[in-house]
Copies of this chain bind each other. A is one copy, B any other.
Amino acid sequence: MDKRPIGVFDSGLGGLTAVRELRRLLPGEDIVYFGDTGRVPYGGRSAETIIKYARQDVAFLRTFDLKAIVIACGTVSTTALDVLAAENPIPVLGVVAPAAAAAARSTKNGAIGLIGTQASIRSGAYERLIRAENPAARVLARPCPLFVPLVEDGRFRLGDVVIETVAEEYLAPLKQAGVDTLVLGCTHYPLLIDVIRACMGPGVTLINAGAEGAKAAAAALAAADALNDRQAGGRYRYFVSDRQEDFSRLASIFLGWDVTEAVGQVDIAAF
Protein backbone atom coordinates (compact mmCIF):
# COMPACT_ATOMS: atom_id res chain seq x y z
CA MET A 1 0.00 0.00 0.00
CA ASP A 2 1.21 3.47 -0.87
CA LYS A 3 -0.81 6.53 0.08
CA ARG A 4 1.31 9.02 -1.86
CA PRO A 5 -0.35 10.82 -4.76
CA ILE A 6 0.10 10.10 -8.45
CA GLY A 7 1.53 12.97 -10.51
CA VAL A 8 -0.01 13.54 -13.94
CA PHE A 9 1.03 16.09 -16.54
CA ASP A 10 0.29 17.27 -20.03
CA SER A 11 1.20 20.20 -22.27
CA GLY A 12 -2.22 21.64 -21.46
CA LEU A 13 -5.66 20.33 -20.65
CA GLY A 14 -5.87 17.22 -22.85
CA GLY A 15 -4.28 15.07 -20.15
CA LEU A 16 -7.40 15.56 -18.06
CA THR A 17 -9.07 12.94 -20.27
CA ALA A 18 -6.59 10.47 -18.75
CA VAL A 19 -7.31 11.81 -15.25
CA ARG A 20 -10.98 11.11 -15.91
CA GLU A 21 -10.15 7.48 -16.66
CA LEU A 22 -7.78 7.24 -13.66
CA ARG A 23 -10.55 8.39 -11.33
CA ARG A 24 -12.97 5.88 -12.83
CA LEU A 25 -10.49 3.07 -12.20
CA LEU A 26 -8.92 4.28 -8.93
CA PRO A 27 -11.36 6.64 -7.20
CA GLY A 28 -9.43 6.59 -3.93
CA GLU A 29 -6.12 7.87 -5.33
CA ASP A 30 -4.86 11.41 -4.76
CA ILE A 31 -3.74 13.15 -7.92
CA VAL A 32 -1.52 16.17 -8.56
CA TYR A 33 -2.07 17.48 -12.10
CA PHE A 34 0.14 19.93 -13.96
CA GLY A 35 -0.91 21.44 -17.31
CA ASP A 36 1.75 23.55 -19.07
CA THR A 37 -0.81 26.06 -20.37
CA GLY A 38 1.85 28.78 -20.64
CA ARG A 39 3.67 26.80 -23.36
CA VAL A 40 0.89 24.67 -24.93
CA PRO A 41 0.88 23.22 -27.60
CA TYR A 42 3.95 20.96 -27.62
CA GLY A 43 3.04 18.93 -30.70
CA GLY A 44 4.61 21.18 -33.34
CA ARG A 45 7.88 21.74 -31.47
CA SER A 46 11.26 20.03 -31.82
CA ALA A 47 12.21 16.93 -29.81
CA GLU A 48 14.86 19.00 -28.03
CA THR A 49 12.33 21.59 -26.86
CA ILE A 50 9.79 18.93 -25.84
CA ILE A 51 12.39 17.10 -23.73
CA LYS A 52 13.43 20.36 -22.05
CA TYR A 53 9.83 21.29 -21.24
CA ALA A 54 8.99 17.76 -20.04
CA ARG A 55 11.99 17.72 -17.67
CA GLN A 56 10.75 20.94 -16.11
CA ASP A 57 7.20 19.57 -15.81
CA VAL A 58 8.54 16.51 -13.97
CA ALA A 59 10.84 18.64 -11.77
CA PHE A 60 7.82 20.66 -10.66
CA LEU A 61 5.69 17.57 -9.97
CA ARG A 62 8.51 16.03 -7.97
CA THR A 63 8.36 18.89 -5.47
CA PHE A 64 5.51 16.65 -4.20
CA ASP A 65 6.30 13.24 -2.73
CA LEU A 66 4.78 11.06 -5.45
CA LYS A 67 4.60 7.32 -6.00
CA ALA A 68 4.50 7.54 -9.79
CA ILE A 69 4.19 9.98 -12.67
CA VAL A 70 1.80 9.48 -15.58
CA ILE A 71 2.68 11.34 -18.78
CA ALA A 72 -0.84 12.08 -19.99
CA CYS A 73 0.43 13.53 -23.25
CA GLY A 74 1.01 11.66 -26.49
CA THR A 75 3.71 14.06 -27.62
CA VAL A 76 5.81 13.78 -24.44
CA SER A 77 5.24 10.02 -24.25
CA THR A 78 6.56 9.49 -27.77
CA THR A 79 9.46 11.90 -27.46
CA ALA A 80 10.70 12.09 -23.85
CA LEU A 81 9.57 8.96 -21.94
CA ASP A 82 12.92 7.16 -22.09
CA VAL A 83 14.83 10.21 -20.87
CA LEU A 84 12.37 10.88 -18.04
CA ALA A 85 12.23 7.24 -16.95
CA ALA A 86 16.03 7.03 -16.84
CA GLU A 87 16.38 10.22 -14.81
CA ASN A 88 13.78 9.59 -12.12
CA PRO A 89 13.75 7.07 -9.26
CA ILE A 90 9.94 6.67 -9.31
CA PRO A 91 8.01 4.99 -12.15
CA VAL A 92 7.29 7.29 -15.09
CA LEU A 93 4.50 5.85 -17.23
CA GLY A 94 3.43 6.93 -20.71
CA VAL A 95 0.47 6.35 -22.98
CA VAL A 96 2.21 5.01 -26.08
CA ALA A 97 3.12 1.42 -25.17
CA PRO A 98 -0.35 0.66 -23.73
CA ALA A 99 -2.10 2.19 -26.75
CA ALA A 100 0.22 0.37 -29.17
CA ALA A 101 -0.47 -2.94 -27.41
CA ALA A 102 -4.23 -2.36 -27.50
CA ALA A 103 -4.08 -1.54 -31.22
CA ALA A 104 -1.94 -4.60 -32.01
CA ARG A 105 -4.46 -6.81 -30.16
CA SER A 106 -7.49 -5.16 -31.73
CA THR A 107 -6.68 -5.31 -35.44
CA LYS A 108 -8.11 -8.17 -37.51
CA ASN A 109 -6.85 -7.14 -40.95
CA GLY A 110 -3.46 -5.83 -39.79
CA ALA A 111 -4.09 -2.27 -40.99
CA ILE A 112 -3.80 0.21 -38.12
CA GLY A 113 -4.29 3.96 -38.42
CA LEU A 114 -2.54 6.40 -36.14
CA ILE A 115 -3.30 10.08 -35.59
CA GLY A 116 -1.31 12.40 -33.36
CA THR A 117 0.66 15.61 -33.29
CA GLN A 118 3.51 16.26 -35.70
CA ALA A 119 6.12 15.48 -33.03
CA SER A 120 4.41 12.19 -32.11
CA ILE A 121 4.24 11.00 -35.71
CA ARG A 122 7.81 12.15 -36.42
CA SER A 123 9.11 10.12 -33.46
CA GLY A 124 7.95 6.80 -34.95
CA ALA A 125 7.36 5.53 -31.39
CA TYR A 126 3.85 4.16 -31.93
CA GLU A 127 4.88 2.31 -35.08
CA ARG A 128 7.90 0.71 -33.37
CA LEU A 129 5.83 -0.52 -30.44
CA ILE A 130 2.95 -1.75 -32.58
CA ARG A 131 5.34 -3.73 -34.77
CA ALA A 132 7.08 -5.13 -31.70
CA GLU A 133 3.72 -6.61 -30.65
CA ASN A 134 2.52 -7.52 -34.13
CA PRO A 135 5.29 -7.63 -36.75
CA ALA A 136 2.80 -8.12 -39.59
CA ALA A 137 0.85 -4.93 -38.82
CA ARG A 138 0.89 -2.04 -41.28
CA VAL A 139 0.70 1.36 -39.58
CA LEU A 140 -0.58 4.39 -41.49
CA ALA A 141 0.21 7.54 -39.58
CA ARG A 142 -1.23 11.04 -40.10
CA PRO A 143 -0.31 14.17 -38.14
CA CYS A 144 -3.35 16.31 -37.27
CA PRO A 145 -1.86 19.68 -36.28
CA LEU A 146 -5.17 21.57 -36.11
CA PHE A 147 -7.00 19.14 -33.82
CA VAL A 148 -5.50 20.53 -30.59
CA PRO A 149 -6.21 24.22 -31.36
CA LEU A 150 -9.72 23.36 -32.56
CA VAL A 151 -10.50 21.32 -29.43
CA GLU A 152 -9.09 24.04 -27.17
CA ASP A 153 -11.33 26.52 -29.02
CA GLY A 154 -14.38 24.35 -28.27
CA ARG A 155 -14.91 23.21 -31.88
CA PHE A 156 -15.18 19.48 -31.28
CA ARG A 157 -18.87 18.75 -31.80
CA LEU A 158 -20.60 16.90 -34.63
CA GLY A 159 -22.30 19.34 -36.98
CA ASP A 160 -19.47 21.91 -36.88
CA VAL A 161 -18.40 22.22 -40.52
CA VAL A 162 -14.90 23.36 -39.55
CA ILE A 163 -13.94 20.37 -37.43
CA GLU A 164 -15.81 18.00 -39.79
CA THR A 165 -13.93 19.32 -42.85
CA VAL A 166 -10.55 19.17 -41.13
CA ALA A 167 -11.27 15.67 -39.79
CA GLU A 168 -12.44 14.40 -43.20
CA GLU A 169 -9.23 15.70 -44.75
CA TYR A 170 -6.93 14.21 -42.13
CA LEU A 171 -8.74 10.85 -41.99
CA ALA A 172 -9.52 10.26 -45.69
CA PRO A 173 -6.23 8.42 -46.47
CA LEU A 174 -6.74 6.16 -43.44
CA LYS A 175 -10.29 5.33 -44.51
CA GLN A 176 -9.14 4.63 -48.07
CA ALA A 177 -6.42 2.34 -46.75
CA GLY A 178 -9.09 0.27 -44.97
CA VAL A 179 -7.71 0.46 -41.44
CA ASP A 180 -9.87 -1.46 -38.96
CA THR A 181 -8.28 0.13 -35.88
CA LEU A 182 -7.40 3.78 -35.26
CA VAL A 183 -5.15 4.98 -32.44
CA LEU A 184 -6.11 8.40 -31.05
CA GLY A 185 -2.53 9.15 -30.12
CA CYS A 186 -3.09 12.49 -28.37
CA THR A 187 -5.00 13.02 -25.14
CA HIS A 188 -6.99 15.87 -26.69
CA TYR A 189 -8.60 13.60 -29.25
CA PRO A 190 -11.15 11.80 -27.04
CA LEU A 191 -13.23 14.99 -27.22
CA LEU A 192 -13.38 14.42 -31.00
CA ILE A 193 -14.58 10.84 -30.68
CA ASP A 194 -18.04 11.50 -32.19
CA VAL A 195 -16.58 13.40 -35.14
CA ILE A 196 -13.92 10.75 -35.73
CA ARG A 197 -16.42 7.89 -35.43
CA ALA A 198 -18.78 9.60 -37.90
CA CYS A 199 -15.84 9.93 -40.34
CA MET A 200 -14.41 6.45 -39.96
CA GLY A 201 -17.69 4.52 -39.67
CA PRO A 202 -18.78 1.93 -37.09
CA GLY A 203 -16.46 -0.82 -38.34
CA VAL A 204 -13.30 0.87 -37.07
CA THR A 205 -12.18 0.34 -33.46
CA LEU A 206 -10.94 3.56 -31.83
CA ILE A 207 -8.10 3.24 -29.31
CA ASN A 208 -7.97 6.07 -26.75
CA ALA A 209 -4.30 6.48 -25.79
CA GLY A 210 -5.02 8.42 -22.59
CA ALA A 211 -7.49 5.81 -21.35
CA GLU A 212 -5.12 2.95 -22.23
CA GLY A 213 -2.33 4.77 -20.40
CA ALA A 214 -4.52 5.20 -17.33
CA LYS A 215 -5.48 1.50 -17.39
CA ALA A 216 -1.84 0.45 -17.65
CA ALA A 217 -0.85 2.80 -14.82
CA ALA A 218 -3.59 1.37 -12.60
CA ALA A 219 -2.43 -2.17 -13.39
CA ALA A 220 1.23 -1.31 -12.70
CA LEU A 221 0.40 0.24 -9.34
CA ALA A 222 -1.75 -2.75 -8.39
CA ALA A 223 1.02 -5.18 -9.40
CA ALA A 224 3.51 -3.26 -7.24
CA ASP A 225 1.05 -3.25 -4.32
CA ALA A 226 1.22 0.54 -4.44
CA LEU A 227 -2.47 1.42 -4.44
CA ASN A 228 -4.05 3.60 -1.79
CA ASP A 229 -6.34 1.58 0.52
CA ARG A 230 -8.95 4.32 0.33
CA GLN A 231 -11.82 3.17 -1.90
CA ALA A 232 -13.12 6.62 -2.91
CA GLY A 233 -12.75 10.32 -2.28
CA GLY A 234 -9.28 10.87 -3.74
CA ARG A 235 -8.09 14.47 -3.51
CA TYR A 236 -7.22 16.43 -6.65
CA ARG A 237 -4.77 19.30 -6.92
CA TYR A 238 -4.40 21.22 -10.18
CA PHE A 239 -1.56 23.47 -11.32
CA VAL A 240 -1.07 25.39 -14.56
CA SER A 241 1.67 27.63 -15.92
CA ASP A 242 -0.60 30.35 -17.31
CA ARG A 243 -3.57 32.12 -15.78
CA GLN A 244 -5.88 30.12 -13.57
CA GLU A 245 -9.14 31.92 -14.43
CA ASP A 246 -10.27 29.91 -17.44
CA PHE A 247 -9.02 26.62 -16.09
CA SER A 248 -12.07 25.44 -14.15
CA ARG A 249 -14.49 25.99 -17.02
CA LEU A 250 -12.31 24.30 -19.63
CA ALA A 251 -11.11 21.54 -17.33
CA SER A 252 -14.71 20.58 -16.56
CA ILE A 253 -15.26 19.85 -20.27
CA PHE A 254 -12.26 17.51 -20.40
CA LEU A 255 -12.94 15.83 -17.06
CA GLY A 256 -16.68 15.48 -17.33
CA TRP A 257 -17.16 16.82 -13.79
CA ASP A 258 -17.06 20.28 -12.22
CA VAL A 259 -13.70 21.45 -10.91
CA THR A 260 -14.28 23.19 -7.57
CA GLU A 261 -10.72 23.05 -6.21
CA ALA A 262 -8.44 26.08 -6.26
CA VAL A 263 -5.90 26.00 -9.09
CA GLY A 264 -2.25 26.91 -8.51
CA GLN A 265 0.00 28.83 -10.87
CA VAL A 266 3.58 27.69 -11.48
CA ASP A 267 6.58 29.52 -12.96
CA ILE A 268 7.57 26.42 -14.90
CA ALA A 269 10.66 27.84 -16.61
CA ALA A 270 12.25 28.19 -13.15
CA PHE A 271 12.30 24.37 -12.72
Q: By the criterion CB–CB under 8 Å, are B153 and A161 in contact?
A: no
Chain B residues whose CB sits within 8 angstroms of the CB of A46 once the complex forms: 242-243
Chain B's closest residue to A166 (CB) is B162
**Does A149 interact with chain B (Cβ within 8 Å)?**
yes
Q: Return the CB mask of A33-51 against B: 1 if under 8 Å, else 0.
A: 0000111000011101100
Q: By the criterion CB–CB under 8 Å, are A161 and B165 in contact?
A: yes
Query: Shortest CB–CB separation between residue A76 and chain B, in angstroms?
Result: 15
Residues 35-70 (chain A) with a chain B CB within 8 angstroms: 37-39, 44-46, 48-49
Q: By the criterion CB–CB under 8 Å, are B146 and A242 in contact?
A: no
Q: By the criterion CB–CB under 8 Å, are B242 and A45 in contact?
A: yes
Query: Known: A49-B243, A242-B46. Contact between A150 and B161, CB under 8 A?
Result: no
Chain B residues whose CB sits within 8 angstroms of the CB of A241 once the complex forms: 49
**Does A145 interact with chain B (Cβ within 8 Å)?**
yes
Chain B residues whose CB sits within 8 angstroms of the CB of A149 once the complex forms: 145-146, 149
Chain B's closest residue to A241 (CB) is B49
**Does A269 interact with chain B (Cβ within 8 Å)?**
yes
The contact of A153 among B45, B146, B242, by CB within 8 Å, is B146
Query: Shortest CB–CB separation between residue A54 and chain B, in angstroms?
Result: 13
A243 to B47, CA, bound (A): 9
Query: Shortest CB–CB separation between residue A170 and chain B, in angstroms?
Result: 11
A238 to B1, CA, bound (A): 55
The contact of A162 among B38, B48, B162, by CB within 8 Å, is B162
Chain B's closest residue to A269 (CB) is B269
The contact of A49 among B48, B49, B161, B242, by CB within 8 Å, is B242
Query: Known: A145-B153, A146-B149, A146-B153. Contact between A45 and B243, CB under 8 A?
Result: yes
Chain B residues whose CB sits within 8 angstroms of the CB of A39 once the complex forms: 38-39
Q: Return the CB mask of A16-44 against B: 1 if under 8 Å, else 0.
A: 00000000000000000000011100001
A232 to B165, CA, bound (A): 46
A44 to B48, CA, bound (A): 24
Would you give 7 A-B contacts (Cβ < 8 Å), ordered by A?
A38-B39, A39-B39, A46-B243, A49-B242, A146-B153, A165-B165, A269-B269
Given contacts A146-B149, A161-B161, 8 further A-B contacts (CB under 8 A): A37-B45, A44-B152, A45-B242, A49-B242, A146-B150, A146-B153, A161-B165, A162-B162
- Please list the 9 inter-chain residue pairs (A to B) with the smallest Cβ-Cβ separation, ordered nearest first: A46-B243, A149-B149, A269-B269, A45-B242, A38-B49, A162-B165, A49-B242, A161-B165, A162-B162
